[in-house]
């Protein structure tokens, strides 16, 4: 193994970015409905699990910036998948009936995505990798 390969293999930033690009390609091929990137479906799912969630809580749960959440919510509202209701300074987000349908499609696609990468990586490895990445993200977020 040459020096370049050693640097790339042992660089968590490079390796994680490479993995993210590959898993994103797989997700984009799996979640092929509407004109939404995969990230939007996780917002829809979070709103499904937390009806009337505030925008601030949504940002916290998805680890995204308020400006990102605003952009996502604007697009989902334009597609009539969510509604926004102001209560003083807080914005509450809810799914529409169409949003509920998209959520159910997403859950089916999520199972397909897991099957897809599990066939490549192995089921147990996929589960373990997801847990490790989750734990690593939590530790990094606490320090940053």
Q: Model confidence over 96-129: pLDDT tens digits?
A: 999 999 999 999 999 999 999 999 999 999 999 9
CA dist., res. 135 & res. 78, Å (int): 35
- Domain residue ranges of the chain, discontinuous segments joined by +: 3-143
Confidence at residue 1, expressed as pLDDT on a 0 to 100 scale:
83
CA dist., res. 136 & res. 69, Å (int): 23
3-143 placed in CATH 1.20.1070.10: no
Q: Model confidence over 3-32: pLDDT tens digits?
A: 988 888 999 999 999 999 999 999 988 887
Q: Which residues pair with 92 in a beta bridge?
A: 54, 85
The yes-or-no verdict on residue 41 having pLDDT over 80 is yes
Q: Model confidence over 44-87: pLDDT tens digits?
A: 999 999 999 999 999 999 999 999 999 999 999 999 999 999 88
């Amino acid at each position: 193994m040459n020096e370049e390969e050693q640097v790339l293999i042992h660089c968590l930033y490079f390796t994680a970015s490479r993995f993210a690009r590959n898993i994103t390609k797989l997700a984009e091929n799996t979640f092929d409905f509407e004109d939404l990137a995969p990230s939007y479906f996780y917002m829809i799912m979070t709103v499904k699990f937390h009806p009337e969630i505030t925008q601030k809580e949504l940002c916290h749960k998805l680890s995204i910036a308020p400006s990102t959440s605003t952009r996502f919510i604007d697009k989902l509202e334009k597609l009539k998948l969510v509604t926004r209701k102001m209560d003083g300074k807080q914005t509450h987000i809810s799914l529409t009936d169409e949003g509920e349908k998209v959520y159910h499609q997403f859950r089916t696609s999520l199972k397909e995505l897991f099957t897809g990468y599990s066939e490549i990586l192995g089921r147990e490895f996929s589960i373990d990798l997801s847990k490790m990445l989750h734990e690593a993200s939590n530790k990094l977020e606490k320090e940053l």
